[in-house]
Chain A
Amino acid sequence: MNKKEFGNIGEKITCKYLLKHNYRILERNFIYRGGEIDIIAYDRSKNEIVFFEVKTRSNKEYGLPADSVNKYKLNRIIKGAKYYLFKNRINKANTRFDILEVYYSQGMFFINQIKQII
């Protein structure tokens, strides 16, 4: 499995995961000046718009995927989120920022959702 394939499968699996957990996918790969938000979804149970950063890793040994979201990256994601809300004229909505870690080990995909990174 090459990197591209791995990434695609990873995204598919995360979407499935989110649907199963009562989310509605609003946007995938939302592009803004400065970057891209991997997934934007609506959490029905919490009434929150959630901005996901998806981190895929095939090997755990390089540290956990979540570790690679630093302050700089976070600020960019927030900027993207603001742009999304502005563009869609969403005012005062409840929002949340999560990380979805996807890793592959021994022929299986694992998903770990880290909620509320800010």
Chain B
Amino acid sequence: MLSIIKSIALNGIEGFIIDVQVDVSGGIPCWEIVGLPDVSVKEAKERVKTAIKNSGFEFPSRKIVINLAPATIRKGGSNFDIPIAIAVLKACGKIMSFEYESTLFIGELGLDGAVNGVIGALPMCIEAKKRGFKRIIIPSQNELEAGIVEGIDVIAVKSLSQLIGFLNNQVTIFPSKFDLEDVLKCRNLYNVDFSEVKGQKNVKRAIEVAASGGHNCILIGSPGSGKTMIAKRIPTILPSLTFDESLEVTKIHSIAGNINENMPILVNRPFIAPHHTISQVSLVGGGANPKPGDISLANYGVLFLDELPEFDRNKLETLRGPLEDRKISISRLNYTVTYPCNFMLVASMNPCPCGYYGYGDKCKCSNNAIRRYLSKVSGPILDRIDIQVEVSGVDFECFTSDEIEESSYKIRKRVEKARAIQIERYKNEGIFSNSELTDRLIEKYCIIDGKCQKILELFVKKKGLSGRAYKRILKVARTIADMDCSEEIQEKHILEAMQYRNLDNKY
């Protein structure tokens, strides 16, 4: 007897519907899985067999062939346990007819017949809904993250016997209901705020520009000047995530296995700060079973590389592609997975190895040492950073002054306004912010008059900047003009944008 149960496999964050076909026939009993399964899927055999027996059902002494179709997609993970078990029981006539065509099954089985959680339940549910499935059976551990998806019945099950009861109409399980209001309350609740940063008017302005246009930025300054402190507060002034963006962010964290009861859905922009000792695989993603790396976890948020020159040069090199493409493809022998990594890069560094270059005569570093230090970052990353900000420590008076600093909320409102202008302008271009402007689009949208052109050319020539730096200044000027609600880029905008090439100036 042949039976077919529908399930789903993930490739990157994309879901593919898989037909779990089970054929049960006579002959010498055996158990075979075909259709490009990986080791973890092959292990399903023992789990399913034992779980069926321990759920009070007889496991048939038959020749069982399982095909996961289409065979061209690689299948990993243990989420086929449930569909395989159900398909076997169905083929043996142990469960009644049900709307199998419109139902997706995912879940891992324990030996005792309990259903265990899977990784990536959210993207699977989203895909199931997109494909018009009526309901999806998921492990109860994944109920919170999967329940977010509306327009599909999410049935959370605890054990195989409970599921069989449900399919046989003996047990009622109500579709999971999820209180969106409840989580959305946490939106924009951060435990840090920009009002805690005293003084630093110029730096804050630069950061606001960066946030308004989604520009990558680097903070340069001596130890203790507040670089880390400021960087940590950048997500608090970025525009609020829309619900769809929240889902996109959560999808990746779901695949990385980061979702727990406390945060079924990420409502705030992620702030990911890898240490410089991080391995390449955890940074950009990869591994035998490809997992998203930190750059993907920072999707729609901030990737903060503190003490940039401490990172290996080759690790930084690998960021080049993702910074341009905003996605990363990981190739394996016979398949490729792609994860998005649309993040805002924020880096920090000291101006020299000891950190005190330019602050009196405290610095004892030789010119050579400084050059070597800077050359570590200059090539690969610096070229892709729009805004370079110098952070000098604040005076003691500043700390003790009673002046009330602007809150993140207020800054965010302005940032959101500037972003709204950009979204409207680029609605037909498929981009959302000035930082994403390509050369062609820069020519179209960053038009400056002859006078500005002259100023800029002079600046670029004097500093010996590359054509790339020139384009970056134009992009930043576009953002500053947007913050000013000015459709044309004026001289003052260009002048301010030129200030954010600090590093080129000095070193």
Contacts and interface: CB of A to CB of B under 8 A. Distances in A.
A94 B62 contact: yes
Interface in A49-89: 78, 81-82, 85
A116 B62 CA distance: 10
B61 interface: yes
Contacts of B28: 78, 81-82, 85, 95
A95 B59 contact: no
Contacts of B29: 95-97, 116, 118
B479 to A, nearest CB: 69
B59 A93 contact: no
Given A48-B61, A116-B61, A95 B30 contact: no
B27 A96 contact: no
A118 B62 CA distance: 10
A92 interface: yes
B25 A95 contact: no
- Counting chain B CB atoms within 10 Å of each CB, the highest count among A46, A82, A116 belongs to A116
Contacts of A115: 61
A95 B63 CA distance: 9
Contacts of A93: 26-27
A108 B29 CA distance: 34
A118 B25 CA distance: 15
Q: Chain B: interface secondary structure?
A: loop
Nearest to B61: A96
A118 B45 CA distance: 12
Interface residues of B, number: 9
B26 A94 contact: yes
Interface in B10-31: 25-30
Contacts of A116: 29, 59, 61
Nearest to B53: A116
Interface string B40-67: 0000000000000000000101100000
Interface in B60-84: 61-62
Nearest to A79: B28
A81 B59 CA distance: 20
A116 B25 CA distance: 16
Interface in B90-123: none
Contacts of A97: 29, 61
Contacts of B61: 46, 48, 94-97, 115-116
A78 B61 CA distance: 14
Contacts of A95: 26-29, 61
A85 B26 CA distance: 12
Contacts of B30: 118
Nearest to B59: A116
A40 to B, nearest CB: 13
- Counting chain B CB atoms within 10 Å of each CB, the highest count among A81, A93, A95, A97 belongs to A95
Interface string A106-118: 0000000001101
A93 B62 CA distance: 9
A95 B223 CA distance: 76
A62 B59 CA distance: 30
A30 to B, nearest CB: 15
A60 to B, nearest CB: 25
28 contacts: A46-B61, A48-B61, A78-B28, A81-B28, A82-B28, A85-B28, A92-B25, A92-B26, A92-B27, A93-B26, A93-B27, A94-B26, A94-B61, A95-B26, A95-B27, A95-B28, A95-B29, A95-B61, A96-B29, A96-B61, A97-B29, A97-B61, A115-B61, A116-B29, A116-B59, A116-B61, A118-B29, A118-B30
Interface of B: 25-30, 59, 61-62
Given A48-B61, A85-B28, A94-B62, 8 more contacts: A92-B25, A92-B27, A93-B27, A94-B26, A94-B61, A95-B26, A95-B61, A116-B29
